[in-house]
Amino acid sequence: MKGQIFLINYICDNQPMHLEVPSDADTMTVEQAQQHVQASGAKGHITDVQVSKITRTHEPGTTPGHHQ
């Protein structure tokens, strides 16, 4: 599968929330993640935005050595 999936975690009005965003880019900045959260229609006070790349473990070449 081409592209990446990024997991964006954030706090909206003191409630933990998350959003999965597909992207063709290899990286995503916190600023870009914040834009995705706002574009998704999140309402309220948004804080503590964090972004991480989701690694798909079932793709060839990504299995840990002790499982091969």
Give DSSP secondary structure letters for 44-63. S-EEEEEEEEEP-TTSTT-S
Predicted local distance difference test score (pLDDT) of residue 32: 96
Which segments in the chain show pLDDT lower than 70? 1-2, 56-68
Predicted local distance difference test score (pLDDT) of residue 43: 87
Q: Which of 43, 42, 21, 46 is nearest to 32 (CA)?
A: 21
- Is residue 51 a contact partner of residue 30, using CB atoms and an 8 Å limit? yes
What's the pTM?
0.76
Predicted local distance difference test score (pLDDT) of residue 60: 64
Torsion over CA of 20, 36, 59 and 57, rounded to 10 degrees? -50
Predicted local distance difference test score (pLDDT) of residue 65: 65
